[in-house]
Chain A
Amino acid sequence: MRCKSIYWLAVMMCFFAIGCDNTDDGSYVDPITIYEKVNGNWGLTNLKMIDESAKANKIEPSEENLSTYFNYEDFKIKFNVDEKNSPTSYEVSGNVPPLFAPKGYWKLSSDFQPVNPTGATKIYLYSDAQKTQKTDELLITSIPGKNGEMELKLVHASGGVPFVSYVFKLTTIN
């Protein structure tokens, strides 16, 4: 009786082996770009204003939370792409102060996620569809992953020295 079941097991193993006969190499797909991750509608979970000169000199306070001021609870930003996943327009809603132009066109400084963590990808914002008139740029300080969260940083610098920055913590909507 025991021997019989071992035979059956052996037969089953054979089936498994046969089942893996065909190798599937998959068809060609485009590599995943950051456009796929950035595109879509984003809502604000937190807005932080950082006093970069205070921070550099270890003066407190160096940060303030603005999430509850100036209607920022309602801040939303939508990055649109076309069918080829190329960036087109963007739009801010929620009647918030114009820290950057509330609508226009966008593209990324790099299509792919940087290997070197220091070189954060930037979102360039333009006022024209041809993308010649740059209005602002946002640093992607946290690339969206499975958690559906993204962090953008708007840096105000003078003579190359940042003095204030704004960190937008966003979460994907839908």
Chain B
Amino acid sequence: MKKIIYTILLALLMAPNFMQGQENVGAVGSMSSFPVVYKYDEQVTWYFDLSGTTYAENEDLYMWIWSPSEPDAGNWENSSNFAKLTHVKDKIWSFTLTPTLYFTKTPAEIAASAGFWFRIKNKNGSKQSDVANMPYTDFSSFYTANELIRSYPTKPTIDKGVSILFNANLAPGFAGAKSVHMHSGLNDWDIKQEYQSWLPEIVAKTKLKDLGNGFYKMDLVPKDYYNAPDGYEMKNLVFLMVKDDWAGTTPDQVLFAGAYVPPPAPVFGFFPLQLSQKDFLGMSRKNNESGVNKLIYTITAGSKVINGEFTGGTAEIKGFVNLVAELNGIPNLTEIHVVVKDNKNKTISDTKMPLKTLDK
């Protein structure tokens, strides 16, 4: 009897050991959704920036969500395919769902829940992110606000989503509309997406989503929707809403674009400014372009060639080359030739550095 009790006790003591062995990869970075605002019974794609985590770009990742409900419960060690994320680009993953269907809950139940709480894990659960919460923007105040138009965000930008809400009850002549379409353009009609009611694909593209009771919504990313060229500077988005086949229109509307904030310029530097054969050579690059995560160097010193690379993220890539050991005892060196490239094979620096002679 005693033996059995001891065995059980031992097993209990060891149990936590089996549960460990999990690697925490870090926090989920910025999150966004498209549509920007959505009802709980609408299909939505969530985007997660995981560039700050140690997940690799080609890693298969899964959604582990327990609020409002836990669709993949019991499968921590073998996530289901329906919970799988899609890699979009540069360590941004997406997850597409219709909340009411995914969580098997009514919109009211989801609204009353604690929100969307999750981790992002790998298939077998050996790696997981910190706990994260997907924010939700409640736009229901629009239904009673007596506003003709409201947009999320108030000032759209060219490469990010915008949701434009339209209250047709406040637009004379829109009663009984079968469909509502947006006739619009960028920068005072510089690039247009007209409502060409005779072209079926344009009719579909310009059609607003019917939220019921005379409320409509348009979701778009200006860059894609207007097929704007790269580097196009968006100043405004002008539009009017059209009932059926031009049976009625709203007055002209305008949304002013948010200030375009260019990313800070990359800064590359060596450390120290002057060095000898017996010093370490540091290099760092800050504000890297998205997708740049490596500095690959080739250092030539006389007949000696040193190759290597440093990894990092968009914030900074940094490392030190052990010249002290690599060049130890090589006579008559006066300079080194350093070539640094990024992982997209772009030359970052091609520099000849004189080596200082040390005082004895």
Residues of chain A at the chain B interface (Cβ within 8 Å) = 49, 51-54, 59, 61, 64, 66, 69-70, 97-99, 134, 156-160, 163-164
Interface on chain B toward A: helix, strand, loop, or mixed SS?
A: loop
Bound-complex Cα distance A18 to B13 (A): 67
Judge whether B4 is part of the interface by a CB distance below 8 angstroms. Answer: no
A99 shortest CB reach to chain B, Å: 6
Q: A99's closest neighbor in chain B, by CB?
A: B324
User: Is B275 close to A, CB under 8 A?
Assistant: yes
- Complexed CA–CA distance, A53 and B356 (Å): 12
Asked, given contacts A64-B271, A98-B325, whether A156 binds B320 with beta carbons under 8 Å apart, the answer is: no
Choose among A64, A156, A157 the residue with the greatest number of B CB atoms under 10 Å from its CB: A156
Interface size range on B against A: 20 to 34
Minimum C-beta distance from A48 to chain B (A): 12
A51 CA / B276 CA spacing, docked (Å): 12
Decide: B273 and A54 in contact? CB cutoff 8 A: yes
CA distance A69 to B276 in the complex (A): 19
Contact digits for B318-350, partner A, Cβ 8 Å, 1 yes 0 no: 001010110010000000000000000000000
B contact residues around A97 at 8 Å (CB): 280, 322, 324-325, 328
Q: Is the interface of A mostly helix, strand, loop or mixed?
A: mixed
Which of A53, A59, A164 counts the most B-chain CB atoms under 10 A from its CB? A164
Alpha-carbon separation in the docked complex, A156 to B356 (Å): 9
Q: Are A158 and B276 in contact (CB under 8 A)?
A: yes
Q: Is the CB of A51 within 8 A of B272?
A: yes
Q: Which residues of A contact B282 (CB under 8 A)?
A: 49, 64
Q: A51-B273, A64-B271, A164-B274 are in contact. Are A159 and B359 (CB under 8 A)?
A: yes
- Closest CB in chain A relative to B318 CB, distance in Å: 9
Is there a chain A Cβ closer than 8 Å to B278's Cβ?
A: yes
The answer, yes or no, to whether B358 is at the interface (CB within 8 Å) is yes
Contacts of B278 in A (CB 8 A): 99, 156
Contact B358 A49, beta carbon cutoff 8 Å: no
Is A158 touching B357 in the complex (CB atoms < 8 A)?
A: yes
B259-278: contact bitstring with A at CB < 8 Å (1 yes, 0 no)? 00000000000011111101
| Contact residues in A for B358 (Cβ distance below 8 Å) | 156-158
Determine the distance from Cα of A54 to Cα of B274 in the docked complex, in whole angstroms.
9
CB-based contact B324/A51 at 8 Å: no
Give CA–CA (A134, B360) in the complex, Å: 9
Cβ of B279 within 8 Å of any chain A Cβ, yes or no, is yes
In Å, the complex CA distance between A52 and B276 comes to: 13
* Cα–Cα, bound, A174→B358 (Å): 36
Q: Could you list 20 examples of A-B contacts with CB < 8 Å?
A: A53-B273, A53-B274, A64-B282, A66-B320, A69-B320, A70-B320, A70-B322, A98-B324, A98-B325, A99-B278, A99-B324, A134-B360, A156-B276, A156-B279, A158-B356, A158-B358, A163-B273, A163-B275, A164-B275, A164-B279
Q: Closest approach, in angstroms, between the C-beta of A163 and any C-beta of chain B?
A: 4
Q: Which residues of A contact B357 (CB under 8 A)?
A: 158
Closest chain B residue to A54, Cβ basis: B273
CA A61 to CA B284, docked complex, whole Å: 11
A60 to B, closest residue via Cβ = B269
In the A-B complex, the 8 residue pairs with the closest CB atoms: A51-B272, A97-B324, A158-B356, A97-B325, A163-B274, A157-B359, A164-B272, A53-B273
Provide the residues of chain A in CB contact with B324, threshold 8 Å: 97-99
Give chain A nearest CB distance to B287 CB in angstroms: 15
- Contact present for A49 and B280 (CB under 8 Å): yes
B275 partner residues in chain A, CB cutoff 8 A: 163-164
Residue of A nearest to B357 (CB): A158
